[in-house]
Amino acid sequence: MTTSAPPGRYYMAANVFDSKTVPFRFNTGTATGIVKYEDAPDDDATATMPTMPSHEDVVTAGNFYWSLTGLVRPSDPPVPKTVDHDMVVEFGVDQAPCAVEQTKCQGFALVAFMNRNSFQFPRNASLLKALYDGVQGRVYSEDFPSSPPPLPGIRRATSVKRLNYGDVVEVVLQSRVYSSVLGAENHPIHLHGFNFFVLAQGLGRFDPRANSTYNLVNPQVRNTVAVPAGGWAVIRFTANNPGMWFMHCHLDAHLPLGLAMVFEVLDGPAPNLLPPPPVDYPKCY
């Protein structure tokens, strides 16, 4: 804040932004504090109240949140300028025909997806153990699509995206913008195992021409990004941590519905190798 206004008393005010993610009632009041200039007259004059945006002003909230930048230190790695994998991951919640195991389901059930894949947890081994033991094909497939498939329908699968060690990955996270029975909502997308650079965000359908607006100098560095309802975010990271790493919605109810995918990062040169499980690691029987 730059104190460049005429000396006086000013309200610092805040109200709640309603993202429509959860349909709960909230306090619609305005919280205030007073900023008083040292040279302001010490009287009982009423502080100047700013004009507040509406609780649903997504443009104002977005322009503020999306303009945040990172604190760059000399030791911080720079944003990688070349990309090995360009991905568009569209996600949302919809309805799909009941699965066989949904014995109490009547016709249709809620299902969540990324690129029309609803993630299913493996039943006979962990993903990490399957990678370490080299039995990928028996536990999961390496065919997670890099863009939304053109065919309709939602596939229930244990599907991962295979990456070589050191690959640079750019992901456009696209909250579905077409209508559904549930409508659009905000989704906090979280990536395990890595921090990523948030290069840009916006509303509506992502336009590839937006790459001219990417912040490649001092972007935010995060492991979770709030993708706006019916909007998008672009993230970029370097796959330098061998293992199986979830990317999923951090709304707890959406994970068991399948709003997740996994990056399979292969070993790099020694010592960048997936370590063996500890000898005392608990096992399921």
Q: Which residues pair with 6 in a beta bridge?
A: none
**Residue range 101-136, pLDDT digits in tens:** 777 887 777 889 999 999 999 988 889 999 999 998
Report which residue type is found at 247: M
pTM for the full model?
Answer: 0.86
* Homologous superfamily, domain 85-265: Cupredoxins -  blue copper proteins (2.60.40.420)
Domain positions in the chain: 9-56, 85-265
7: cis peptide before it, omega within 30°?
no
* pLDDT over 60 at 269, yes or no: yes
* pLDDT over 60 at 180, yes or no: no
Q: Rounded to whole angstroms, how far apart are CA atoms 93 and 175?
A: 10
CB 243 within 8 A of CB 267: no
What's the sign of the alpha-carbon dihedral 90, 96, 100, 105?
positive
Share of the chain above pLDDT 90, in %: 54
User: What is the β-pairing status of strands 117-119 and 243-249?
Assistant: unpaired
Tell me the pLDDT band of 282, cut-offs 50, 70 and 90. Answer: confident
Q: What is the dihedral of CA 10, 14, 15, 17, to 10 degrees?
A: 130
